[in-house]
Chains A and B, each alone.
Chain A
Amino acid sequence: MRWNDAVLGAIFVIIALVVALDARGFPDLPGQAYGSGTLPTLVAAVMFCLGAAQIVTGVRSRAPAIRLDAWMRAPGAAWRMAAVPLFVAAFVLLLRPLGFPLVTPPLLFALLLVMTVRPATALVVAVAATAGIWFVFARLLGVPLPLGLLTEIVY
């Protein structure tokens, strides 16, 4: 997904302005003209100039505002790509209430199906990967992966 340089340049300019405005409220060191706002302001100034330069380049190039690369136009590509953030978001939101052992296999199974893995393989892989990661992180490394609904059953 290629945007015209001017689009991202404008976003950088806006971020730079917001940062510079916010940084004005940061306190200076006692008796100095410098403080916690100095470097953010400097970086914002550089970002503003470079972003502006990108706007100029983008406008001059007369490229379309947005252009899809060939690989992204392949059938199903956009949908498979969207599945990645959807998987992560669903995983974080459901992890605490339901627990790692209950959330992971169905989500991973669904993602594997989206990736056109055969259902039988997907099922085996989803369960095996869940067990493997549980073993490494929860048992070997002692990471408290949430048990969610299973907490009361286990304890």
Chain B
Amino acid sequence: MEWDWHYTGDILPDLLDGLRVTVTATLLGYVIAVLLGLVWTLLRRTPSAVVNQTVRWVTEFVRSTPLLVQLFFLYYVLPTWGITLGPLTAGVIGLGLHYSTYTAEVYRGGIDDVPRGQWEAAVALNLPRSRTWLDVILPQAIRRVVPTLGNYLIAMFKDSPLLLGINVAELLNTAYTTGTHTLRFLEPITLVGVLFVLVSVVSSVLVRRLERRSHATD
């Protein structure tokens, strides 16, 4: 079988539509992951041992079980409890929830890296707890972890094809459906691969540049 450039040109617009869904799902999921991760980290620092241990085991559980199964859970189990999510919504929530357990670790590392003196200074200045966190600790911690968080954005992008398991019309799913219509899988799936490598390589170059810049300002 020969590579058919004409066919390639025909399917490209459809694939780009799929890519748009992939990117949307990734970005929305990323927003959830970044915010929820911070929530997990802060909850783990509360004095209550019950909250602390619960959060610890919940995040450990989510982190060490497959994203695909979690997506199935959101998509198939929640409706039996009366919560019906559309495929894309379930996908975004699943991606976000799964990766929030990773970003939580990143934040934790970032907060641990803030020098002790900063805490002591906040105490010495008698800053209220909320100001200590919002104006002293978090700005420094988050600046340190931006490149690492960027890497997780790329990781999420690469995990987004899993959404086809719950019928989201993302990039790979579009390619596969196109293929079943024409029985030619070579061009669409190869194109998807090329698009993935392109987006990932370009974004990892950007993240590396970000990394270098944040080292330079340290």
The answer to whether A binds B is no
